[in-house]
Every structure is written in C-alpha cells, then in structure tokens.
C-alpha cells in the first residue's frame, strides 16, 4: 500500500464520524458489546489500544461486529503492525512515526495515522507522501490553537487530534479546516463498561456523533 493509498483510506475512515473512540479494553467480555454500542451510537471507527493483554483478542471480537471499522492503537513496532493486521485491524494509529513502523504498515497494507506534534514532523510525513496524521498529545502541545497555526503553512495536512480531547473541547478542534475527526476516550467510561451499562455507552456515542462542526 503506497503512502497516497494509505492516506486516502485513513481519511475515509476518519470521515466516518467526528469522533474515533480510543478504547482501552481490559476485559475481553466487553469487546463485542462495546463495539455494538459504539456502532449503534454512530461511531463506527474504533481504535483499540495495544496496552492490555487482551487487546488483540478484543480486535478480533470487535472486527466481527457489523458496521464497525476496527483499528489498532499504540502501534510501536513492526511486530505490533503484523499482529494487529492478523487480528483483523483495518487501520493503525501510533503516537509517533519511525521508518520501520511506516515500512511495516506499507508492507502489511495497513493504513496508518502516524502521530505528530511539531511542524517538522508534519513536513517529514508530507515529504514521505502521508497527508493524514494524528496530532498527539493534542492538548499538551498547543491544542486547537496550534492546529490552527499549522494550517497556514501546511494546509495539505489533515489531522485527528488525540490526547486531552473531551466533550468540552471537541468542537474547538472539529471547527478547524484541517481536522477530520478527533480521538477520545470519554465515550467509553471504565465505570459504565465494568457495570455492563451499554445503553449509557451508546448514549455517549450518540452525543459524540452529533458533534460535527
């Protein structure tokens, strides 16, 4: 998969909804009902972070939910990429970008949202042919104001800001011309997941899905 193809597919996935849920799944039994709640609430693109022992199995379970588009987050190594693709991930998200990680995603045909935090990192990915990126950690590196400033010299770059994004500030990001969507974990509170309160999770997803613009 070429960088242009990767970016086109990443943009398509990001455009499915204004919010990509960033999910940390500790209990495998939560995976399928969580995916169903998110999709029913209007958030089909799901990022499952590879931070727990059950993450890959969760991706497998969630990939079977109709209407969902499941990706793997916290990709750090080539091995992570191969494992994520084998588990059924259809896109990948990383906190940064290394040549080895990018090459692995190209080899595996896994669209990648690579993380950037500075203009130099944005320019480096643009030179490599990537136009869709994750802006991380968004709030810590200047928030919506920083992305607004980047748009002037680098309008060809499109972002999914993640890190400190919440219901309170999501619209600040989504109103910017260079933001396709935002990534956030607030739509899947641990307490509601632990309680199996999937109707509450679906309601949060529905609220997030209505944030566009």
pLDDT along the chain (213 residues), means of 10: 93 98 98 98 98 98 97 98 98 97 97 98 97 98 98 98 98 98 97 97 98 75
Run of H or E including 113: strand 112-116
pLDDT at position 212 is 80
Cα-Cα-Cα-Cα dihedral sign, residues 212, 166, 140, 103: negative
pLDDT at position 65 is 98
pLDDT at position 98 is 96
pTM for this predicted structure? 0.96
Q: Tell me the β-bridge partners of 21.
A: 184
Task: Return all residues near 147 (Cβ < 8 A) that are at least 6 apart.
Answer: 135, 138, 159, 161, 173, 176, 178, 179
For the chain, give the longest Cα–Cα distance. 47
**If DSSP codes are grouped into helix, strand and coil, which group holds residue 87?**
helix
Catalytic residues: 47, 134
Length of the chain: 213
Nearest Cα to Cα of residue 69 among 44, 93, 52, 88: 44
pLDDT at position 78 is 98
**If DSSP codes are grouped into helix, strand and coil, which group holds residue 178?**
coil
Burial of 165 (0-12, 13-18, 19+ CB in 10 A): buried
pLDDT at position 72 is 98
Nearest Cα to Cα of residue 93 among 70, 121, 73: 73
pLDDT at position 8 is 96
Distance CA 39, CA 35 (A): 6
What is the bridge-based pairing of β-strands 182-184 and 19-23?
parallel
**If DSSP codes are grouped into helix, strand and coil, which group holds residue 77?**
coil
Residue ranges per domain, the chain? 3-209
Q: Which CATH class is domain 3-209?
A: alpha beta
Q: Tell me the β-bridge partners of 92.
A: 72, 112
| Angle 184-185-186 from CA coordinates, rounded to 5° | 100
Distance CA 211, CA 213 (A): 6
CA 208 to chain centre: 14
Helices (H) and strands (E) in the chain, counts: 10, 8
């Amino acid at each position: 998969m070429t960088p242009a193809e990767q970016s086109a597919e990443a943009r398509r996935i990001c455009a499915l909804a204004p919010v990509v849920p960033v999910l940390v799944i500790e209990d495998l039994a939560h995976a399928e009902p969580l995916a169903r709640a998110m999709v029913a609430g209007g958030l089909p693109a799901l990022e499952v972070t590879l931070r727990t022992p059950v993450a890959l199995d969760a991706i497998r379970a969630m990939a079977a939910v109709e209407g969902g588009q499941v990706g793997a987050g916290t990709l750090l190594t080539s091995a992570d990429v191969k494992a994520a693709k084998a588990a059924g991930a259809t896109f990948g998200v990383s906190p940064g970008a290394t040549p080895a990680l990018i090459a692995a995603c190209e080899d595996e045909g896994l669209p990648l949202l690579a993380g950037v935090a500075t203009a130099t990192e944005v320019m480096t990915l643009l030179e490599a042919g990537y136009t869709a990126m994750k802006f991380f950690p968004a709030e810590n590196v200047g928030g919506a104001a920083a992305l607004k400033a980047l748009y002037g010299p680098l309008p060809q770059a499109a972002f999914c800001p993640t890190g400190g994004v919440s219901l309170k500030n999501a619209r600040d990001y989504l109103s910017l011309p260079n933001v396709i969507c935002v990534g956030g974990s607030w739509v899947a509170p641990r307490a509601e997941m632990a309680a199996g309160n999937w109707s509450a999770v679906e309601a949060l997803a529905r609220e997030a899905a209505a944030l566009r613009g």
